[in-house]
Chains A and B, each alone.
Chain A
């Protein structure tokens, strides 16, 4: 090949690149999700409802950008407080990485349980989620939901106490598959998630126990209605494993309202029923969560 031919090919290639580049620069940019279509921050830090993890990816980004959220959640129960704070980043609306720290304050019940008044449990949750297929929001002409798979690696603090109440382990990974769909014409958002887990009380009381040491398939789901562009109301249900011997673990549910105060701020309030926790009955209360995102 002569140098003239080579330079001619190079010139042609350069011209083609130059001519198409402005339209296909594939410019990286933030933003681009419609309000509330990335859900809110679940108590475990992943994008979802309040109790359920969804298939949507955290942040306001599209396939062309990076987004993120930070949240603070407080659940006031009759005998306990549960709080959670964390952050998540979404990459190209495909991959989500999240972290949350949960704190469970036993208040006066701690003394009755022999732990001491105000004894607190805590855990770290490191999560990763990948969108596998589908588009919950834009693919309105197909019944296929958006499907994602994820892992949440949980590290319970207070290992000695957690073991003393019967937990087999103090750290474990939950694995889940989530399917989320917006039926825009009806204004309905639905999620169904299967979680393979051995977590006791989300993992705050460790993993596994006398009644079981293997992961079991548990369900969590949400059903919600968009009332306005900025307000969604709905309900959630979540089943839990029951591995510990000293107390039965109940399913939980909530009734929630999520409000997009601003493009970058959402507020979620819920009535939540976590059932009996560690033999203390009827833990129903108020769930409040504030999320900031970009």
Chain B
């Protein structure tokens, strides 16, 4: 079983500048949404360069946002930016592989509340506006992300063993 997990995981060494995480199985399904068909959304977000700018702006806004900055304290922001870029690229039809954890695993025991997720959405909206992504394309993307609240908000891990 362990051998199989290691085989499936195919986890290379921790990328430069990131902190190691516990082993997990990598899969595009971890992204938590299916990708858009066609290249329309990828174009609307100005390809990889646009997604890179949006994610960098989103993370910068969020770590500076007094409503949610506490959540990002002690988090590996290098890894966060990389996996968010992969996730956005994958969902927007940019053809990336998503190598991060599931939304549930990544947010377990983080204590995220619904209002935190709304604050993040507002920061993402601001980042998309700054990138001049059309309002319709913004909403199509947000509609893919919104259901993730079930795997982000108030996710508890297994109780510690006695």
Contacts and interface: CB of A to CB of B under 8 A. Distances in A.
Nearest 3 A-B pairs (CB), nearest first? A32-B115, A23-B111, A185-B143
Contact of A64 (B113, B119, B121): B113
Nearest to A139: B147
20 contacts: A24-B156, A27-B113, A29-B113, A31-B67, A31-B115, A32-B119, A34-B118, A65-B115, A138-B149, A139-B147, A140-B143, A141-B147, A184-B140, A184-B146, A185-B139, A185-B143, A187-B135, A187-B136, A226-B139, A229-B125
B15 interface: no
B142 interface: yes
B110 A23 contact: yes
Interface in B132-162: 135-136, 139-140, 142-144, 146-147, 149, 154, 156, 159-160, 162
B65 interface: no
A32 to B, nearest CB: 3
Interface string A1-31: 0000000000010001001101111110101
Interface string A28-53: 01011110000000000000000000
Nearest to B129: A229
Contacts of B113: 26-27, 29, 32, 62, 64
B134 to A, nearest CB: 11
Q: Which of A26, A62, A138, A187 has the most CB of B within 10 A?
A: A138
A34 B126 CA distance: 13
B76 interface: no
B128 to A, nearest CB: 10
Contacts of B162: 12
A214 to B, nearest CB: 41
A62 B114 contact: yes
A248 interface: no
Contact of A23 (B109, B115, B119, B159): B109
B122 interface: yes
B139 A33 contact: no
Contacts of B116: 32
Contact of B111 (A25, A142, A229): A25
Given A23-B110, A32-B114, A64-B115, A228 B135 contact: yes
Interface of A: 12, 16, 19-20, 22-27, 29, 31-34, 62-65, 137-142, 183-187, 226-229
Contacts of A184: 139-140, 142-143, 146
Assign chain B's interface to a size class: 20 to 34
B65 to A, nearest CB: 12
A32 B120 CA distance: 10
A229 B135 CA distance: 8
Nearest to B137: A185
B159 A16 contact: yes
Contacts of B160: 16, 19
Best-surrounded residue of B115, B135, B143 (most CB of chain A within 10 A): B115
Contacts of B147: 138-142
Nearest to B67: A31
A138 B146 contact: yes
Nearest to B34: A141
Given A25-B111, A26-B113, 12 more contacts: A22-B111, A26-B154, A32-B114, A32-B116, A34-B122, A138-B147, A139-B147, A183-B143, A184-B139, A184-B143, A187-B135, A229-B135
A264 to B, nearest CB: 14
